[in-house]
Amino acid sequence: MTTRMRRFGLYALLALVGVTMVGPLYWLFTSSLKQSGDIYTFPPVWWPGDLRWGNYAEAWRAAPFGQFYLNSLITTGSGALLEVANAVLTAYAFVFLRFPAKRVLFAALLGALMVPGHVTLLANYLTVADLGWINTYQGIVIPGAASAFGAFLLRQHMLTIPIEIIEAARADGAGHLRILFRVVLPLSRPMLITVAIVSLVSKWNDFIWPLIVTNTETMRTLPVGLLMLKDADGYVNWGSVMAATVFVVLPVLAVFFVAQRQIVAGLTQGAVKG
Amino acid sequence: MSDPTVAGRGRPVPTAGDTARRSVARTRRGRRLREYALFLAFVAPNFLLIGVFSYWPVVYNAYLSLTEWDMIAPVKRFVGLDNYVDLFTGNEFVDVLGTTAYFMVGVVGGSLVLGLAVAVLLNQRLRGRGLVRTMVFAPHVLSGAAIGLAWLFIFDPNYGLSRFLFELVGATSPAWLTDSDWALPAIMIVYLWKNVGFCAIVYLAGLQNLPRDLYESAALDGAGAWRIFRRITLPLLSPVTFFLVVTTIISSFQAFDVIAVMTDGGPGGATTILSWYVYDKGFIAFQAGPAAAGAVVMFAILLAVTLLQTRYLERKVHYR
In contact, B61 and A123? CB cutoff 8 Å: yes
Closest chain A residue to B49, measured at CA:
A146
In contact, B281 and B287? CB cutoff 8 Å: yes
Measure the CA–CA gap between B121 and B128, rounded to whole angstroms.
12
Closest chain B residue to A260, measured at CA:
B134
Mean pLDDT score, B150-164? 88
Measure the CA–CA gap between A143 and B11, rounded to whole angstroms.
43
Phi, psi values for residue B21, rounded to 5°: -65, -35
In contact, B278 and B294? CB cutoff 8 Å: yes
CA max distance for chain A: 75
CA separation (Å) from B124 to A242, B12, B135, B212? 36, 63, 17, 15
pLDDT digits (tens, 9 = 90+) for B220-243: 888 888 888 888 899 989 889 988
For every residue of B174-239, DSSP letters joined together read --GGGSTTTHHHHHHHHHHHHHHHHHHHHHHHHHHTS-HHHHHHHHHTT--HHHHIIIIIHHHTHH
Measure the CA–CA gap between A104 and A100, rounded to whole angstroms.
9
Which of A223, A253, A271 is opposite residue B205, by nearest beta carbon? A271
Which of B45, B136, B274 is opposite residue A86, by nearest beta carbon? B45
Which of B53, B142, B163 is opposite residue A249, by nearest beta carbon? B142
A12-16, B2-6, B56-60: segment of lowest average pLDDT: B2-6
- Non-local CB neighbours of B215 within 8 Å, separated by 6+ positions: B228, B232
Cβ distance A207 to B257 less than 8 Å, yes or no, reads yes
Closest chain B residue to A239, measured at CA:
B153
Cβ distance B36 to A100 less than 8 Å, yes or no, reads yes
pLDDT at position A113 over 50: yes
Measure the CA–CA gap between A223 and A226, rounded to whole angstroms.
5
- Non-local CB neighbours of B240 within 8 Å, separated by 6+ positions: A271, A272, B202, B203, B205, B206
Instruction: Write out chain B residues lying below 8 Å of A248, CB-based.
Output: 143, 145-146
The complex scores an ipTM of 0.91
Measure the CA–CA gap between B101 and B304, rounded to whole angstroms.
15
pLDDT at position B278 over 60: yes
Instruction: Write out chain B residues lying below 8 Å of A100, CB-based.
Output: 36
Give B21-58 as a 3 state SS string: HHHHHHHHHHHHHHHHHHHHHHHHHHHHHHHHHHHHHH
pLDDT at position B9 over 60: no
Closest chain A residue to B301, measured at CA:
A116
Across the A:B interface, residue pairs with CB atoms under 8 Å apart total 297
pLDDT score at A52: 86
pLDDT at position A270 over 60: yes
Cβ distance B143 to A142 less than 8 Å, yes or no, reads no
Cβ distance B121 to A13 less than 8 Å, yes or no, reads yes
Instruction: Write out chain A residues lying below 8 Å of B141, CB-based.
Output: 201, 205, 252-253, 256, 263
pLDDT digits (tens, 9 = 90+) for A232-254: 677 778 888 899 999 999 999 99
pLDDT at position B276 over 50: yes
Measured in angstroms, the CA of B117 and the nearest CA of chain A are apart by 10
pLDDT score at B314: 55
pLDDT score at A100: 92
Q: Would you tell me which residues 50-79 of chain A have a C-beta closer than 8 angstroms to some C-beta of chain B?
A: none
Nearest Cα to B263, choosing from B164, B158, B172, B189? B189
pLDDT digits (tens, 9 = 90+) for B252-270: 988 999 999 999 998 989 9
* A106: helix, strand or coil: helix
Global pTM? 0.89
Closest chain A residue to B308, measured at CA:
A114
Cβ distance B42 to A89 less than 8 Å, yes or no, reads yes
